[in-house]
Chain A
Amino acid sequence: MFTFKELKKHSKTIVPGKEYRLAVLGNCATQFLATSIKGFARKENINLEIFDTDYNQIDSQLIDKCSEVYAFDPDFILLYISTDKIYEEFMDMELIERSAFAVKYMEKITYYWNLICKNSHARILQMNFSEIDDKIIGNYSCKTNISFTFQIRELNYLLQHSMMERKEVLPIDLLSIQINLGIKKFYDPALYYNAKMAISIQTLPYVAKAVIDVVKATLGKLKKCVVLDLDNTLWGGVIGDDGIGNIEIGELGRGHAFTDFQRWLKQLKDRGILLAVCSKNNEDTAKEPFINHEEMILKLTDISIFVANWNDKASNIKYIQTALNLGMDSLVFLDDNTFERNLVRSIIPEIEVPELPEDPAQYLSFIQECNLFEAASYSDEDQNRTKQYQSEFERNKLQQEFESIDDYLNSLNMVAEVQPFDPVRYSRIAQLTQRSNQFNLRTIRYTEDEIERIANDSNYVTLYYTLRDKFGDHGLISVVILKKQSADVLFIDTWLMSCRVLKRGMEEFIINKLVGVAEGMGYSEILAEYIPTPKNSMVKDIYTTMGFEMMKENHYKLEVATYKEKCTYIKEEQKND
């Protein structure tokens, strides 16, 4: 979050575009709040002018038709009635009147709304009430209607119901800010007594954000669609490798966190936000959990567009956006993978890409805190939106267009290391041969002992590859085992790669290096085979793509001398030992 200092600086910047006007009316000191709101608006590129009324002027400003507030001709009027101030009014009341406090106060607020409607076209931004832990009768206050605790809660309740009847009134949920920050951070007694400020300086930016979030919604700056990754975002694990029985979803263990995340997304869909899927997977594999996993909350009918293939995600998102006919700035992209997030951000700067926390347990509370899905109205039609889009999508299935991502790949500073198998890596290598299903040409499983034997056998040439980029280290991500067939022929016994590093030039780098090693050792021919399994169809054509010649179905050959080095943005690690 920004600091008050930053917002104050920003409040002096100039933003082009249509000017909007907001008047702040409070029963407490609001100068700092007004400055913060102005600064926040400008940070968000909204040209917002602010008029801040003096302390405790609500009645006089609203009753007088010629008041400064009305003369300012505001588009928005922020009504901020602070709990701390009305707490004092409450305590000054006769005991007998206190049980009617909330009802009376709600009448007063309704009176303010009516005055505004009569004299202005402004929308009303109504702050709800933070709480004070009054404890006048201890915990018993909760069931005693002459206590402030009881009355302030009732007032919030009445406020909610009254706002439902008034479409010009939009709530600012101050109470939720107090809950999130905690009362000690939210409120600074010394500041209140010295300056009549009912919230602390560090709370100001949060309130400013809430106000601007609502203002943005009224200006139509809304999020309308969430584009979802699948593996380790909607469920734990990798469907293509782990299979439907082993992904984590359901009420047990880590799966529970993913289930609740899905529940929340389902709610989002029910209230009119579209859900789309963008996954690097085979389409059938990706859809399987949605169809066959009993504990999946989200079903295929909840998804407006389902895109699962091996193309880069930026192109797929552009496809989704075109198909749904939405502005790119109304899309939110959720993916656990830093590489994908950065790629999408760099190619499509308009899209919102929240920095999902590493621990899936935090996904839900994090996304709630982001408050991305404001609205300025709600109607029953919102619920049917997914259906409309699904049928629309069926009508115009578009040709996918793919844009070059070379510049992005180049900017990643990718460095790979290539080495023959060494003892500290045996267990990781064996594990990869056992677990990789998708990018695995022959799916031969090896134990650690077998890997050790192969590494020490002069009939084999072994290579492992690591990859790191400017965002981090992916570790050992590919394994190649070459078997000598004769003095000048090598056979690719094993080639597998982690799908995390797909489509960024690693495949090309691996083959370049493989051919280079073979050539260096005097081999003139490389033979290869693809053994189809239910899970590895993504690599069925890879040898042809890499320039091998097909001998018969699934069997390939490469003359080393004719090989043309493939373009890649990955550099080899230079070891100087």
Chain B
Amino acid sequence: MTKGEVLAKLNEIAQEVFEDDELILKENTVASDVDGWDSLTHLQLISDIEDEFKIKFLMGEIQGFANVGELVNTIINHVEGN
């Protein structure tokens, strides 16, 4: 999977979780840029990503993403590791 494909999929998931059809995530987007991205919705996002990509994040990864780009890279690593 390419970065672009992962980002596109992630964007769909995020639109649903944050209930915003116009939300566009970029690699440098951080949580504070997005309305409603708090510790709880973050967990829902993580859970939905895990279901969608059929991966499981490590405990330490879940709270440690600096920005969306890092999240995308971690997803790719897990998908390729499967």
Contacts and interface: CB of A to CB of B under 8 A. Distances in A.
Interface of A: 4-5, 8, 31-32, 189-191, 193-195, 197, 201
B39 interface: yes
Interface in B18-47: 39-40, 43-44, 47
B23 to A, nearest CB: 16
Nearest to A197: B43
Contacts of B40: 31-32, 195
Contacts of B77: none
A190 B48 contact: no
A5 B45 CA distance: 10
A269 to B, nearest CB: 43
Nearest to A195: B43
A190 B59 contact: yes
A4 B57 CA distance: 20
Given A5-B16, A31-B40, A32-B40, A193 B59 contact: yes
B62 interface: yes
B44 A194 contact: no
Nearest to B63: A194
Nearest to A12: B19
Contacts of B62: 190, 194
**Which 6 pairs of residues, A with B, have the shortest CB-CB distance?**
A201-B47, A190-B59, A194-B62, A195-B43, A193-B59, A31-B40
16 contacts: A4-B47, A5-B44, A8-B44, A31-B40, A32-B40, A32-B44, A190-B57, A190-B58, A190-B59, A191-B47, A194-B59, A194-B62, A194-B63, A195-B40, A201-B43, A201-B47
A189 B57 CA distance: 11
Contacts of A189: 59
Contacts of A8: 44
B75 to A, nearest CB: 15
Contacts of A197: 43
A193 B62 CA distance: 11
A563 B56 CA distance: 73
A195 B39 contact: yes
A32 B58 CA distance: 21
